[in-house]
Amino acid sequence: DAGITQSPRHKVTETGTPVTLRCHQTENHRYMYWYRQDPGHGLRLIHYSYGVKDTDKGEVSDGYSVSRSKTEDFLLTLESATSSQTSVYFCATGRAGELFFGEGSRLTVL
Amino acid sequence: DQQVKQNSPSLSVQEGRISILNCDYTNSMFDYFLWYKKYPAEGPTFLISISSIKDKNEDGRFTVFLNKSAKHLSLHIVPSQPGDSAVYFCAASAEETSGSRLTFGEGTQLTVNP
């Protein structure tokens, strides 16, 4: 258990509104990740961070931005939510090739 | 382009029998492989891993086999228990380091019937 907390756990929003999901970790892991889980696609990497203020894109980064101002916090922002971004979002931290996941944030965009 | 593929969306087995979950990959740069288990409304949790220098790794009831020439790995669970019912994700990366990015398969829903 890497002490990962995601908030909010559930959110319903409307198309075009901005949304921010927060990930907080207590293990001081350098690497943090945002994945989304969709049926038939498994887990796909959105963005990741290799340190404070150091981030990079994953395979499905369009429409998402991230920020990491402190080691323990990694924010995922949807600037203008679309229905295709309805998904379950998982934050993870990494150590020695292994990822530790949070419990997920279920986002519904109407 | 699905670099890690789990072709069976679901698998159903009887309690006490063997469960075999399969995974194929296409990227020859992958050399570290993991299996994750996911229960509903929870995040995935690490189950077992294998490095490309091995062809087998065992941890209790769980064994992972790697066939590099076929780009195929499998997870064996013996004996299967009802508590093993979950979604299992195969994952791969190009290196076994803290910064490695994992590529996941689609997942296989395992149901173990009492």
Under DSSP, the state recorded for B105 is -
| pLDDT higher than 90, residue B78 | yes
Q: How many CB atoms lie within 10 A of CB B96?
A: 17
CB nearest to B43's CB, from A42, A97, A103: A103
Q: Which amino acid is at A1?
A: D
State whether residue B95 sits within 8 Å of chain A by CB.
yes
CA–CA min distance A94, chain B (Å): 6
The count of residues in chain B is 114
Q: Residue A2: its chain B contacts at CB < 8 A?
A: none
The count of residues in chain A is 110
Local confidence band at A40 (pLDDT 50, 70, 90 cut-offs): confident
Q: Residue A92: its chain B contacts at CB < 8 A?
A: 43
Share of chain B above pLDDT 90, in %: 88
- Give the nearest chain B residue to A48 (CA atoms): B101
Q: Residue B96: its chain A contacts at CB < 8 A?
A: 96-97
Contact between B22 and B105 under an 8 Å Cβ cutoff? The reply is: no
* pLDDT computed for residue B94 by the predictor: 86
State whether residue A30 sits within 8 Å of chain B by CB.
yes
Query: Coil, strand or helix: which one is A17?
Result: coil
Q: Residue A45: its chain B contacts at CB < 8 A?
A: 101-103
- Mean residue pLDDT across chain A: 94
* Adjacent-strand bridge partners of A101: A92
Q: Residue B93: its chain A contacts at CB < 8 A?
A: 97
State whether residue A62 sits within 8 Å of chain B by CB.
no
Local confidence band at A96 (pLDDT 50, 70, 90 cut-offs): confident
- Give how far Cα A77 sits from Cα of A2, A59, B82, B103, B109, Å: 23, 16, 39, 22, 30
Q: Which of B66, B9, B79 is nearest to B35 (CA)?
A: B66
Local confidence band at B9 (pLDDT 50, 70, 90 cut-offs): very high
Q: What is the mean pLDDT of residues B22-39?
A: 95
* Adjacent-strand bridge partners of A95: A98
Tens-place pLDDT, residues B80-105:
999 999 999 999 998 766 667 889 99
- Give the nearest chain B residue to A43 (CA atoms): B104
DSSP secondary structure letters along B76-91: EESS--GGG-EEEEEE
Cβ contacts of A96 within 8 Å, gap of 6 or more: B96, B97, B98
* pLDDT computed for residue B97 by the predictor: 67
Phi-psi label, residue A43: left if phi above 0, alpha if psi -120 to 50, beta otherwise: beta
CB nearest to A101's CB, from B4, B34, B43: B43
CA dist B69 and B55 (Å) reads: 11
Contact between B104 and B4 under an 8 Å Cβ cutoff? The reply is: yes
**In the block, residue with structure tokens 């309690």:** B15
Q: Which of A91, A69, A64 is nearest to A9 (CA)?
A: A91
Query: Coil, strand or helix: which one is B23?
Result: strand
Q: What is the mean pLDDT of residues A9-30?
A: 96
Under DSSP, the state recorded for A10 is E
